[in-house]
Structure 1
């Protein structure tokens, strides 16, 4: 399951630097999450860092990208390989 940022986002800028996969970026109106890069921090942390730090709790699971932990780990490994790590 990738995460998503809802329109309740206040653009406080705290989530973007916390993302270890660089999946969070500033969209037209508010921050967004690239579901192809989001691993819910699997491979990096025990819990999604953006969810932990968000002051308005506007980062739910994206229902269009339902993935289990194994799939998220495979995505993490692919992203690391693409970075050359």
Structure 2
């Protein structure tokens, strides 16, 4: 399952540089699949929709840092644990129950993002 950032976020930014998938963005900043990945061309999002990897998507939060589940792999294939959670001083990086995924699902996403 993906990780999410809760409303307890203090906007310290410690999590953003730790993400190997560039899935963490400052509040109000648009995101794209291509940011920090090797993806080019068409990409299928979790909801099944197709987007151009370079196309900017609407921010998921305007006020606090956020993690796009379309890029989060819980650091599978990179680290033993999600790095955002390990560096967060207020423990606001938690599992997102809306996205139930297996380790195989997360590894497949990692491979698609960094082929």
TM-score using structure 1 length: 0.92
The alpha-carbon deviation at position 43 of structure 1 amounts to: 1.0
Q: Return the index of the structure with the highest Cα Rg.
A: 2
Give the distance between the partners of 1:70 and 1:2, measured in 2 at CA: 13
SS at 1:60 equivalent: strand
Alignment gaps of 5+ in structure 2: 28-61
Residue 63 of structure 1 and its aligned partner are, at CA, apart by 1.0
Which residue is equivalent to 1:78?
A: 112
Which consecutive unaligned segments of at least 5 residues does structure 1 have?
none
Instruction: State whether structure 2 residue 70 is matched by structure 1 residue 36.
Output: yes
Aligned length: 81
Q: Which structure shows the bigger proportion of residues in helix conformation?
A: 1
Superposed CA RMSD: 0.6
Shift of 1:32: 0.2
TM-score of the two chains, using structure 2 as the length reference: 0.69
Where do 4+ consecutive residues of structure 1 move more than 4 Å?
A: none
State how 1:43-54 maps to structure 2 within 5 Å: 43-54=77-88
Q: Per residue, is there more strand in 1 or in 2?
A: 2
In the other structure, the counterpart of 1:23 is 23
